[in-house]
Amino acid sequence: MKNISIVITLLFVVFTVNAQEKIIIGNWQLTTVVEDGKTSDGFKTVFIFLENGILNAARSATSEPMEVGTWIYNKKQKSIVMTSDLHSDFRGEATLIKVDKKVLVYKKGDATLSFTKLAKLNLPAKIKAVTTIKPTLNFTHDDLLDEKGAFYYEEEAEKLPWKIKEVLSFLKDYKDIVYTASNFKGDREPDNFLVSSRITYNEDDQTIDVREYSFFQNDYIEMPANPISISDSEKHQEYLFFFPKEKLDLFKVIGTEMLETPIGNFECTIVEGIDNSDHKIKYWMIDNKPGVFAKIIIVNDQNVPFEYSNIYMFKEIK
């Protein structure tokens, strides 16, 4: 009789765990976030926990979902473990507080997030975009070398429109520089989860920080990477030449162009290059705004997980 009771208990535990995991599967719209005693609401973001362990997300119940990572249910810790290379909002361990057929509540870091379940997304009829296709950059590695097949950093660096002292002097007059961005995964139409990046100069710490917009907090949040220290600018000048984006292993200054942006037209120096992850990158560096790009295109031609290509556009400066 005792053995039967143990078996029944074990079966009940297994059933409960499986049932809880199945309840998590579905579309969950974020409603409130509580952090440091402050409650924020008015969110539209939808998390989609698929049965195959894929994590999707959508800007709202009427937006096309995109794949942002993976998820598993940790039955021992009673938590959802999310992984993502796209954004910190989609990775980390979330401890379950409550989950049923209508409500999901979990704690992730210092924030408590509450969701309500949606029966389905209310997607509009799909319209094929003709002007928002994945960007292409046709130059090759060899195009960035000189006629002797060599690359000399110093020679190309001299052609750049900015110098370190000019960049730092200009940025001190502004708190933030904001870029909007379109993120392309594979050959699909762009999603807009990478909505914006904000570049901030911190005079007290003498650092430059890059933050990304968080749908959860309706604000720009600190990213895991350390801010760029400018205490020894001469030592780190190769990084600051191309602030605020990736350092290029090979690059070539190819000319100038007047470029139209949402806040005006700017004379720009155009740079093409390749970083250490084989991303092709094209910069439009505003000649009279040291440290500010009018436009940045980042293209990944490799067929790897979490492949992405981005177009950043200068939006505002404060």
Q: How far apart are CA 196 and CA 258, in angstroms?
A: 23
> Do residues 187 and 313 share a domain?
yes
Please give the pLDDT value at position 162.
87
| 179 and 100 housed in the same domain | no
Contact yes or no for 104/28 (Cβ under 8 A): yes
DSSP 112: E
Per-residue model confidence (pLDDT) at position 59: 79
- The answer to whether residue 40 is domain-embedded is yes
Question: What pLDDT does residue 259 have?
Answer: 94
Q: What is the pTM of this model?
A: 0.58
Provide the pLDDT for residue 20: 67
- Looking at the fold, whether 186 and 217 belong to one and the same domain comes out as yes
Q: How many domains does the chain have?
A: 2
Closest CA to 137 of 294, 298, 314, 247: 298
Residue 313, both tokens: 């556009």
Is the separation of the CB atoms in 43 and 64 below 8 Å? no
User: For residue 181, what pLDDT is reported?
Assistant: 77
Domain assignment of residue 132, yes or no: no
- The pLDDT of residue 185: 65
Query: Which region, left, alpha or beta, applies to residue 280 given φ > 0 means left and ψ of -120 to 50 means alpha?
Result: beta
Q: Per the domain annotation, does 18 fall within a domain?
A: no
CATH of the domain at 81: 2.40.128.280
Tell me: do 160 and 99 sit in the same domain: no
Measure the CA–CA gap between 248 and 277, rounded to whole angstroms: 10
Q: Is residue 124 part of a domain?
A: no
**CA-closest candidate to residue 167, choices 264, 233, 262, 77:** 233
End-to-end Cα separation, the chain, in angstroms: 75
Specify if 161 maps to a domain: yes
**What does the pLDDT look like over 29-68, one tens digit per residue?**
999 999 998 999 888 889 999 998 999 998 788 777 888 8
What is the distance between the alpha carbons of residues 56 and 76, in angstroms, rounded to a whole number? 24
Q: Mark whether 98 and 189 lie in a shared domain.
A: no
State residue 262's pLDDT score. Answer: 85
Give the model's pLDDT for residue 199: 77
Helix (H, G, I), strand (E, B) or coil at 65: coil
Distance CA 142, CA 145 (A): 5
| Model pLDDT for residues 269-308, shown as the tens digit of each residue | 999 999 888 889 999 999 999 989 999 998 887 765 556 7
In a domain, 272, yes or no: yes
pLDDT of residue 94: 95
Do the domain assignments include residue 16? no
Residue ranges in the chain modelled with pLDDT below 70: 1-20, 123-132, 185-196, 213-226, 230, 232-246, 303-307
Q: What's the CATH number where 277 sits?
A: 2.50.20
Domain that includes residue 59, residue range? 27-118
Find all residues with CB under 8 Å of 51, minimum gap 6, and list them.
25
Shared-domain flag, residues 169 and 266? yes
Q: What's residue 268's pLDDT?
A: 96
Residue 178 forms beta bridges with which residues?
198, 316
